[in-house]
Amino acid sequence: MEQAIQRAEILIEALPYIRDFRGKRIVIKYGGHAMVDPELKKKFARQIVLLNYVGINVVVVHGGGLQIGNVLEQMGMQSTFIDGRRVTDSRTMDVVEMVLAGGVNKDVVNLINNEGGKAVGLSGKDGGLIKAKKLFLKDKRTDVAADSTVDMGHVGEVTSVDTSIIDTLESAGYVVVIAPLGVGDEGETYNINADSVAAEIAVGLKAEKLIILTDEAGVLDKDGSLISSISYEDIPRLIEDSVVTGGMIPKLECCMRAMEAGVMKAHIIDGLVPYSILLELFTDSGIGTQIVKEEQE
């Protein structure tokens, strides 16, 4: 009986959050090792289905770097990374598109559908969803000119999004799952960082929240302890003071981009924790790092 009461209390704790988010849009970036472990994949899909059933409109943007790397290795193709981004020549781009749009995307859709959901997969090329241009990174070598850039091949950055296809599918009750590909002005395909795509989709949809799943607990301080809440306005200082370093910097920058364009709140959470999305959204304490604007605190 005591266990049954505890379960009921958990549901009651979730009630005000369900009421607040019902009818709102949430964009979730799905990536990292949570996309590889079979049990975590199933738990992820169940969370998406539950959110959809209680009236929360979820859009999933997925990564796939691990899967791309595995296929390239099997094909004997070497990968070169600059600032964490894969240099993508034409041959590599063919593999990237095959894995993201033809493999990973359909796997995520199938997982959600198998758990009782109603999902449909898109890439940024479908319905003119994501327009992009070639991304040039700053060349950080000391023996080159200060304004020199590195050509990353078919790596792109978002220039605009047209969310009308999402609106249409969402109105028919579908959960939309997006592969982070975009198309250029001349029809060329670009591989785009999934965090950046998630941020731009959240902006285009005027989403209530952006949630980024990672392989870390969230944003950590210099002692390695979790920072449960960060003010949007404090992020530049945390980066400047080297509290935030490495791969967490671009994730926080994506959160800033979304929030400066109107997204109300962002979260960075550990996708390796079972049911991490529900724990972050529907419990008082949460499990990761939330980013809020000062007036919201």
Write down all domains in the chain, each with its CATH number in brackets: 20-296 (3.40.1160.10)
What parts of the chain have a pLDDT lower than 70? 139-148, 294-297
State the pLDDT at residue 122.
97
Query: Per residue in 161-177, pLDDT tens?
Result: 999 999 999 999 999 99
* CA–CA distance, 56 with 21 (Å, rounded to integer): 6
What's CA 249's distance to the chain center, in Å? 14
What's CA 235's distance to the chain center, in Å? 19
Query: Per residue in 85-110, pLDDT tens?
Result: 888 889 999 999 999 999 999 999 99
Closest CA to 278 of 113, 49, 33: 49
Query: Per residue in 13-35, pLDDT tens?
Result: 888 889 999 999 999 999 988 99
Q: Which residues of 235-271 are buried (b: 16+ CB within 10 A; e: fewer)?
A: beebbeeebbeeebeebbbbbbbbbeeebebbbbbbb
State the pLDDT at residue 143.
47
pTM of the model: 0.92
User: Rounded to 10 degrees, what is the CA torsion of 70, 73, 77, 78?
Assistant: 90
**Mean model confidence pLDDT for the chain:** 90
Strand, helix or coil for residue 222 = coil
The structure tokens listed for 184 are 């250029």
